[in-house]
Structure 1
Amino acid sequence: MRAKLSVYFDYIEAELVPLWMIIKFKPGEIVWDQECLYIPIHSPFHRYNAEDFDDQIISLSIASTELVISPERPSHFGIHLPAVKQRINKLRGEKFAPQFLMEDIQQFVVQIGDVEEVLQMNVMSSFNWR
């Protein structure tokens, strides 16, 4: 998969801060049978303002509980696709859930704070606290 990465910024208390990482891909490009989709954290990102977010694209927010780390990929974070599929299938059973196919999803939205939290857990686990 060849994803396009973007980071959306907004002003909070007069300071420009990153809010969301957008992982954009072509419809049907995600291989949902794989365990994890790993995203590099040191990639060139397209930078946008929050008001530039295109809400016409079928997007899926990724929950912090669906983010993972791997010792084999220290400069990446992962998205655990079985957990994402399980959440989508649960939502589909709700009365007012929007109807879509998995292949229709064109981007993932990840909160930067969630990425920082997951990566911090990796750093903290490397210290010996005895």
Structure 2
Amino acid sequence: MRLALYCDFVLDGIRPLQLVIETQPGELDWTEILYLPLSGPFERFEPEQFDDKIGASVLLEDLVLKRGGNEELGVVLPNLALRHPGADITLLVIQISDAEEVLEYKWGYRLMEDGWIE
């Protein structure tokens, strides 16, 4: 699994806009919650890297927060499986603004400030 950030210029500089999760076919268990680390470093993802991969948007209601030792952002994969039955999805796209709403802090700015983007 590859975690990457799509970044673009917004107002005063480059900001992460989307978290992109790239997987191999059959790598995800669509009956479970996929937990993602919040710390990086993350690779940068460029639009041409989408190629002809099948992707799905992760909606706000698909996100949960795992609290405890290390906070992790969770993606409720069964929700996506219901919306896209039988699709061979290899890219998941999370809007940083949705992640920030679940996390209750400005994660995108923290990613930039802490140097978590390679």
- Shorter chain as denominator, the TM-score bin is 0.7 to 0.9
Cα root mean square deviation, aligned: 2.0
* Correspondence list, 1:91-106, <5 A: 101-102=86-87, 104-106=88-90
- For 1:66, the equivalent position in structure 2 comes to 62
Matched, 1:116 2:95: no
CA contact (8 A) 2:20 2:45 kept: no
Which residue type is aligned with residue 21 of structure 1? L
Unaligned runs of 5+ in 1: 90-100, 122-130
CA contact (8 A) 2:5 2:16 kept: yes
Secondary structure, counterpart of 1:69 in structure 2: strand
Which of structures 1 and 2 has the bigger CA Rg?
1
- For 1:44, the equivalent position in structure 2 comes to 41
If each structure's strand is expressed as a fraction of its own residues, which one has the higher value?
2
TM-score, length-scaled by structure 2: 0.77
Against the structure 1 CA distance between its residues 117 and 53, is the aligned structure 2 distance closer, same or farther, given a 3 Å change threshold? farther
Paired residues in the alignment total 105
CA contact (8 A) 2:2 2:21 kept: yes
Unaligned runs of 5+ in 2: 106-118
Structure 1: distance between partners of 2:68 and 2:12:
38
